[in-house]
Amino acid sequence: MGEPKIVVVDYHKGNLSSVVRGLARAGAAACTSDEPEQIRRVDGLVIPGVGAFYDAIAFMRQSGEADAVLDAVATGTPLLGICLGLQLFFERGNEGVPADEGAVADGNTPQQAGGPWVDGLGIMCGSCTRLESSRLKVPHVGWDQVHMTPTGAADPLLTGFAEGANMYFTHSYAVSDDADAADVLARTHYTRSFPCIVRHGNVWGCQFHPEKSSALGQRILKNFVSIVEGAGR
């Protein structure tokens, strides 16, 4: 099929060039796009990690990107989320939600005192909340260990990935403990144990930045390109 075409979804919140370069080094024909019809037509998609949950999902909904991503996923297109991109896969988040917007917590979600919620893409069950600690610094910035679940150790995204490997994180919010355990491929322990790699069907997410995580991060991007190639056959 030649080089698979992978679009990095541009929701107008920052520079996405490092992700595009990483995918190109991994063998993809990669570019950014904010055009819903292009997002629907490509071989693979990446939602990058830039900005706050509320702003990102609001732009994606208003621009038509959110519907385009969900349409592509429904037809089997592989999707990778990075950092905030992973968080947007979940049912709800409370980062950056204005006090007069969003839904009031329903009493069944963790850390419900965190303010109003806004709906995410709803691909995976669970919510995203702030990391809280009186002892550790938040944001969580720097290299930290990734501990695979048995499911993760067998997943094609993590082929050649070493248990306990250090990857580069920079975030203040993470998936909460209401995520479906079946979707969790790996966890990181910082203020709490949070899912740092997830998968649901043809959708994968990394809380860390593979494009900033040297050789092992590049391996994950290469594995994703291989997954996209396999899906296109």
Active site residues: 83, 209, 211
Q: What distance in Å separates the CA atoms of residue 185 and residue 196, rounded to the nearest whole number?
A: 8
| Burial of 189 from C-beta contacts in 10 A (0-12 / 13-18 / 19+) | exposed
Spell out a b/e string for 106-115, using b for 16 or more CB atoms within 10 Å of the CB, else e.
eeebebeebb
CB 6 within 8 A of CB 16: no
Residue 107 main-chain phi, psi, to 5 deg: 90, -10
CB 51 within 8 A of CB 85: no
Tally DSSP H helices, then E strands, for the chain: 7, 14
Angle at 95 between CA 94 and CA 98, to 5 degrees: 80
